[in-house]
Amino acid sequence: MSFNAHFDRSAARLVLKGDCGMAEAPVLATALAAVRSAEPGTLRVEIGGRLDIGPSWLLRALVVELRGAGRHVEIEGRMPEHLRYLDEVASRDVGSMPDFGRATFADRFAAFGGALRRRVASWYEALMFGGRLLESAGTAWRSLKRLRVPSVVRHMHETGVQAIPVVAVIALLISVISAYIGAQQLRPFGAEIYTVDLVTIGVLRELGVLLTAIMVAGRTGSAYAAELGVMKLNDEVDALEAMGMNPYEVLVLPRVVALVLVMPLLTVVADFMGLAGGALLTSYLIDLPWSQFVMRLDSSIGDTTFWAGMVKAPVFGLLIALTGTLRGLQVRESSRELGRLTTVAVVQSIFLVIFADALFAIYFLELDF
Amino acid sequence: MAAVEPLIVVRDVVNRFGAQVVHDGVSFEVMPGEVFGIVGGSGSGKSVLLRTLLGLRQPDAGSVAIEGREVTAMDDRELRDVKRRYGVTFQHGALFTSLTVAENVTLPVAEVLDLDEASLAQLLELRLRMVGLPLEAAAKHPAQLSGGMVKRVALARALALDPKIVFLDEPTAGLDPIAASAFDELVLYLRDSLHLTIVMVTHDLDTLMRTCDRVAVLVDRKVIVDTLEGIVANEHPWIRHYFHGGRGRAMRAAQEDGRGA
């Protein structure tokens, strides 16, 4: 028989029919709420079936509440079998429920202060991180064993070799897009041939390295943060430290070195694919043969064009690796922190890369590089 | 006694990973209202067996029936329905670290049932009281709790939907003896006052001796099921070693002393 709870307001009677488990608790809760809002002077409860522990507790709470207010409550029919147990449980002195109510002004002020303190602490941590990394880099420099070549090579493989396909495709696509738009915009001036300049200079100076950095930030920055974060949650970082090993030397330095080495290599791939894409599109859009493209390319770029892009690559790699590892090591306590800091790592490394790129642009302009 | 239907029936379960056979024809029954222990050496497949019972893993052969309904032959929807009728605690608590204790315990209820805030708060208080937690713990996050409290919160969450069966995976692992024995008491108390059926995987001889009515020992890819006394007297070399090795002997001696005094 399905459970049914009915409150008869005029007779002040609560009739419960059928068995009530947790699945039927919402029906019971609705009836109990009706009783509460009616504030009856007396109440008669008629129970027709078994009540499970949860529902019995809800009913008991109402009865206790009404009786506490001096109302007369009568229970008829089948007494809930867990009532004795519940009385015993309720009599235990376990303190009172904490207040989940609205935050007061003082709470908010305290929360603001807490957030501020955490922000300052995070800057301090970043400083400490930089210091300890420099320190371990200083010692690692002197011996190959401490530089951990196998680890560096593994990270170069994971962050570099495995990233080649995606970086290549992205570079190809972006040069196709810029060649397409360039050709279209330059055609009215009869200056389509400058599409070659646009694509080659654009790819070599900016797009190649910048897009590679953004891809790497998404791929590797997040992976670094998540890897180190999980190791932190599993106490693996503490384990290293307890064995007298320096986690900065074992975990952070190889990752940073690997990414600094790999970024220029990936940028070469991106540059090459970008130029190939440009050549492909110009031959298709403005009927420029490949040999002509190469000649035009040779005259359009200067001695420094390629290097203006290339010098940025290790710097971007350094920024991404530092952000990822720092955020990873900041993870503590919970899986939510892990997710938050992984996101922070990606967003911040992309921000830093673009910010650094802007500084480079100004610097190169002043230097006439 | 003969009229009582078993609550869980496991028939000829086979589990294998690649060429490695973990269970080769495991069969046993769990009766209502008993505390049923599962023991075995590391790697003997205790956790795999528990996952099979919970319907989290399809056995390669054989069947598991809970309350007469075959878990191993259900579609996802039926299985979800059955899963709500039992509670589980995992070895490390498996509390959601990003939620408070209150949210952890309320989650299964709020997810399944359409209840108002006040009723949810009342039920939360009930569950915390049932497992003997101080109520102010409700606002804390799992990272702020001691090991014993984490296990209790996990149990409170397992009890949230008034299950008939509770599965406990290593409930006392990592607890100090005082907290572990308090947890044993709690398990027995819940069984006696609520007539719960409890299936526990454990390594803790103390817990096993104190709480379990019957024990299933996983050895040689099979299972040997007997009452606690029967298992202790069993002649199988691994079981003899388990109960009569250094730790087991000391334990039993202590227990007999306790009984004599």
Domain boundaries, chain A: 4-91, 136-367
CB contact under 8 A, A94 and B102: no
Contact of A65 with chain B, judged by CB distance below 8 Å, is answered with: no
User: Looking at residue A1, what is its pLDDT?
Assistant: 56
Residues in chain B with CB shorter than 8 Å from the CB of A21 are 162
User: Looking at residue B3, what is its pLDDT?
Assistant: 64
What is the H or E stretch that residue A24 is in? none
Contact of B128 with chain A, judged by CB distance below 8 Å, is answered with: yes
- How many whole angstroms from its chain centre is CA A81? 50
Question: How far does A157 lie from chain B, in Å, by closest CA?
Answer: 30
User: Looking at residue B1, what is its pLDDT?
Assistant: 44
Residues in chain B with CB shorter than 8 Å from the CB of A89 are 126, 129-130
Q: Which of A20, A60, A97 is the best residue to mutate to test the B interface, defined by the most B CB atoms within 10 Å of its own CB?
A: A97
User: Looking at residue B259, what is its pLDDT?
Assistant: 52
User: Looking at residue B221, what is its pLDDT?
Assistant: 81
* Token digits of residue A74: 């009568």
**Low-confidence stretches of chain A (pLDDT beneath 50):** none
Q: Terminus-to-terminus CA distance in chain A, angstroms?
A: 86
Question: How far does B45 lie from chain A, in Å, by closest CA?
Answer: 24
Region class of A168: left (phi > 0), else alpha (psi between -120 and 50), else beta: alpha
Closest Cβ–Cβ partner in B122, B130, B142 for A58: B122
Q: Is B117 exposed, middle or buried (0-12, 13-18, 19+ CB in 10 A)?
A: exposed
CB contact under 8 A, B129 and A26: no
User: Looking at residue B94, what is its pLDDT?
Assistant: 81
In chain B, which residue's Cα lies nearest the Cα of A36? B118
Q: Which of B85, B99, B113 is the best residue to mutate to test the A interface, defined by the most A CB atoms within 10 Å of its own CB?
A: B113
pTM of this prediction exceeds 0.80: no
Could you tell me the mean pLDDT of each successive run of 10 residues in chain B, 261 residues long?
Answer: 74 84 84 85 81 83 82 77 80 78 84 80 84 81 81 86 85 80 83 84 81 84 80 79 71 61 42
What CATH number does the domain located at A4-91 have?
A: 3.30.750.24
CB contact under 8 A, A85 and B194: yes
Region class of A98: left (phi > 0), else alpha (psi between -120 and 50), else beta: beta
